[in-house]
Homo-oligomer: A and B are copies of this chain.
Amino acid sequence: MDAGPAVAAERQSHVDAVLARLFSLARKRAEPLGPTYVELWRQIEASTTGGKRFRPRMVFAAYGALGGTDYEAAANVGAAFELLHTALCLHDDVIDHDFARRGTPNVAGVYRDEALAAGVELSAAEHHGSSAAVIAGDLALFNAYRLIDRSGVSDDVRARLLEVMDDALFASAAGELIDIDFALKPEDPHVDDILTMERLKTAVYSFEGPLQAGAILAGAAEEIIETLGEFGRDIGIAYQLVDDVLGVFGAEAETGKTTIGDLREGKRTVLIAYAAAARGWDELAPLFGDPSLTDADAARLRTHLVDSGARTFGEGLARYYANRAVTRLVESHIPERLRAELHPVADAVLGRAK
């Protein structure tokens, strides 16, 4: 039985309530330590709003389909993964030197702008913003852990949930390291390396971890937890691949991001790795990663991505991983209700690419 939209919305607002409570308490605690510290907490909270609450949805999907009924606990676990996501975004933006997310200033951007307004020159102002984002990310990370701890579950379940979150951060850090190391090598990374990086950096904490957490919370059997991990890993890779395609070919009104940003940033995706190995790349390579890339030159890059077969390859690979994910659910130990809950997830992941 698929959770209807009304139920899903109710669970999301439950997650919102958990987060609102955490931030309200934090601001009270921060008051004696100064108004600027209260304001930092407001900024961290702002970082958590406006998202799709995707990771909590994964927690609920597994939890509900496997018979869970303690939605307070599930909301805490969902909120924990949302806060982990917030922490990783805050620090990822520092690493990527990004001062905006979804078109508006992120924490680094807000504090950079504060410094600029105080008359600090740009480079130092950006450093001020990045410094504030490092501090903010630390607080978000610690509190992600605390939410698991305060979810009211039994010791055994708590211990396992913490392991899942530990594994999620462990993998994300490994993926982030691989990503920053790409810049050290003169040659372009292979498709395989990009896939490994995306799986570790994003898929584990976004899909694998939350799904397994929901299953653990529901007291599911080991084999179900394991299969959910495999499903999560595959669907997470598919999600990233679709994201990479949309980052260049998507409809901006739907995706909420431009189709020139990734090209200007020089973001290493599977499409780029494929296209860089094809004839005709050498003359276009200087355009890729140029912050002042024009629309005309961006169109030339897109044409090469199509003509070289990179786009088709990327879309095909996304379909392959999504199908592989769904195939994992065919196993007899997977309840029909869980299959029914997750098939639409796989469809939605692929559907974005149409």
Contacts and interface: CB of A to CB of B under 8 A. Distances in A.
A128 B180 contact: yes
Interface in A193-251: 200
Contacts of A3: none
A162 B165 CA distance: 17
A138 B170 CA distance: 10
A184 B118 contact: yes
Number of this chain's copies in the complex: 2
Interface range on chain A: under 10, 10 to 19, 20 to 34, or 35 or more?
35 or more
Contacts of A29: 170
Interface string A237-267: 0000000000000000000000000000000
Contacts of A178: 34, 36-37
Contacts of A87: 138
Contacts of A170: 26, 29-30, 139
Interface string A27-71: 001100110110010000000000000000000000000000000
B169 A91 contact: no
Nearest to A30: B174
A152 to B, nearest CB: 12
A149 B162 contact: yes
A132 B33 CA distance: 30
Contacts of A142: 141, 145, 166, 169
A177 B145 contact: no
Nearest to A169: B142
A2 interface: no
A35 to B, nearest CB: 11
A24 interface: no
A315 interface: no
A33 B155 contact: no
A340 to B, nearest CB: 33
A91 B95 CA distance: 13
A9 interface: no
Given A145-B145, A155-B155, A181 B36 contact: yes
A138 B137 contact: yes
Contacts of A8: none
A98 interface: no
A177 B37 contact: yes
A297 B295 CA distance: 54
A97 to B, nearest CB: 7
A146 interface: yes
A338 interface: no
A122 interface: no
B183 A135 contact: no
A173 interface: yes
Given A134-B95, A171-B33, A177-B132, A166 B183 contact: no
Interface in A116-168: 118-120, 124, 127-128, 131-132, 134-135, 137-139, 141-142, 145-146, 149, 155, 159, 162, 166
Contact of A185 (B118, B139, B177): B118
A176 interface: yes
Contacts of A278: none
Contacts of A159: 149
8 contacts: A33-B171, A36-B177, A91-B138, A119-B186, A138-B141, A138-B169, A142-B145, A146-B166
Closest 4 pairs between A and B when the two form their complex, measured CB to CB: A33-B174, A118-B184, A95-B131, A37-B174
